Amino acid sequence: MFETLSKAPGDKILALMGEYAADPRPTKIDLGVGVYKDEQGVTPIMSSVKKAEQKILAQGKTKTYLGIAGNKGYGAAVLDLALADSIDRSRVRIAQAPGGTGSLWVLMQLVNRAKPGATVWVSDPTWPNHNPIAENSGLVVKTYPYFDTATRGVKFDQMLAALDTMGPGDVVLLHGCCHNPTGANLTNAQWDQVAASLARTGALPFIDLAYLGFGDGLLEDAYGTRKVLSVVPEALIAFSGSKNFGLYRERVGAAIIVARDAAQADVAQSQLLNIIRGAYSQPPDHGAEIIRTILEDAELRAEWEAELNMMRARMIRLREKLSAAIRTKSNSADFDFIADHRGMFSLLGLPNSVVEHLKATNGVYMIGDSRINVAGIPEDRVDDLADAFLSAMK
Ligand SMILES: Cc1ncc(COP(=O)(O)O)c(C=O)c1O
């Protein structure tokens, strides 16, 4: 049977990781793969996570099935964390899912059940996985203007003009915070306008919330999501615990439905659970139990928040150091945007020839579209990196 298949294209990020691993130069720098790294270049297990795991190990009594919606305490804790009291919970439903990706997947499937072949509008550019997840769910993907390659900020007027033309059948995918790949984000005032547009047009907001706490803070990063929810009748949210809890390989996320009322929420949730049952039946528990344990325990939660604050402060410091070094060396403000961006990524807007040159000549690895992971910047070699950027661009 397999003779009918042709080889699928490989994943570009995984290929780049392979190239980096095979590069023998000790001075190589990995700004490619999208995971947080500490000063040692390690993606650490957070101390709050280790403590939660010890507690779980000591107190766990069963490994029986959880149920299709997953860990209930986790679901309630995630809703508190992400939505707080922005919306009446009677019309909100949640199902734990494997990572942000699994959450996006089951929610896209739900959209396709509600409106087969609906159009999902994604930002130009967006996280490359959004397209296949939507298309493999039967949906049509179109883009709305987002990144301004001249200013490396958001083309907000054009974005809003595009959103204003949408209608009730359209789905608008928004990055809740820390836009991937650009690092350029909406201000609170812009979120207010996006929320007003969505309320006016009736387009369905679908918020990808993969980096809560990585931008300006847990509360600050939730602003856009909460604002939108406070004014629209229906919404979808895909939450990920991969980055902010450092639980990448545990595959923990959540699919959240906001419906017009409790009755419609129950119907939509029944479809969502039916989709999950027919796919992987039930989500894995370990990551969810870790998050539940942390969020329900005041001490562990305080420790987690302190660790998250530390990671965020490190990323902001690295942004500031790199843009300051480039400014000093080049006498130009062209790269100040790196300090203005938030989250783990910045899209530098360099041509692919420069990206390739940096890799070949300096051993500096980044994604082909010139997205860098700021957590990969070695703090003691910021000057070397600034020199490499400036000489590659000559
Ligand atoms: C924008 C965005 N959404 C969702 C995800 C999904 O993350 P995960 O499935 O690892 O939780 C990522 C991860 O890179 C992302 O960048």
| Segment 100-115, tens digit of pLDDT | 999 999 999 999 999 9
Q: What is the pLDDT of residues 70-97, one digit of tens each?
A: 999 999 999 999 999 999 999 999 999 9
Neighbours of 101 (CB within 10 A): 19
Q: pTM for this one?
A: 0.97
Q: What is the pLDDT of residues 119-155, one digit of tens each?
A: 999 999 999 999 999 999 999 999 999 999 999 999 9
- Ligand 1 residue neighbourhood (C-beta within 6 Å): 34, 99-101, 127, 175, 180, 208, 210, 240, 242, 248, 253
Cα 330 from Cα 206, distance rounded (Å): 41
For atom 2 of ligand 1, the residue with the nearest CA is 210
pLDDT of residue 13: 85
Helix (H) or strand (E) holding 103: helix 99-114
Q: Which tokens is 28 given?
A: 């190589």
The CATH number of 65-296 is 3.40.640.10
pLDDT of residue 88: 95
| C-alpha 100 to ligand 1 mean position (Å) | 5
| C-alpha 69 to ligand 1 mean position (Å) | 20
Do 11-44+301-393 and 65-296 show the same overall fold?
A: no
Alpha-carbon Rg for the chain in angstroms: 21
| C-alpha 206 to ligand 1 mean position (Å) | 14
Helix (H) or strand (E) holding 147: strand 147-148
Answer yes or no: 208 catalytic. yes
Write down how long the chain is. Answer: 394
The residue whose CB lies within 8 Å of the most ligand 1 atoms, and thus the one to mutate among 35, 126, 127, is 127
pLDDT of residue 205: 98
| C-alpha 222 to ligand 1 mean position (Å) | 16
Choices 3.90.1150.10, 3.40.640.10, 3.20.20.20, 3.40.50.300: CATH for 11-44+301-393 = 3.90.1150.10
Res. 292 pLDDT band, cuts 50 70 90 = very high
Q: Which tokens is 307 given?
A: 């660790």
Answer yes or no: 297 catalytic. no
Res. 172 pLDDT band, cuts 50 70 90 = very high
Q: What is the pLDDT of residues 178-230, one digit of tens each?
A: 999 999 999 999 999 999 999 999 999 999 999 999 999 999 999 999 999 99
pLDDT of residue 12: 83
For atom 6 of ligand 1, the residue with the nearest CA is 100
Res. 11 pLDDT band, cuts 50 70 90 = confident
Is the pLDDT at 237 greater than 90? The verdict is yes
For atom 13 of ligand 1, the residue with the nearest CA is 210
| In the chain, domain spans | 11-44+301-393, 65-296
Confirm if 119 and 139 have CB atoms less than 8 A apart. yes
From the list 134, 203, 210, 268, the catalytic residue is 210
Q: Which residues lie below 8 Å from residue 288, measured CB to CB, with a gap of 6+? A: 70, 71, 74, 96, 241, 252
Answer yes or no: 127 catalytic. yes
Measure CA 310 to chain center. Answer: 19
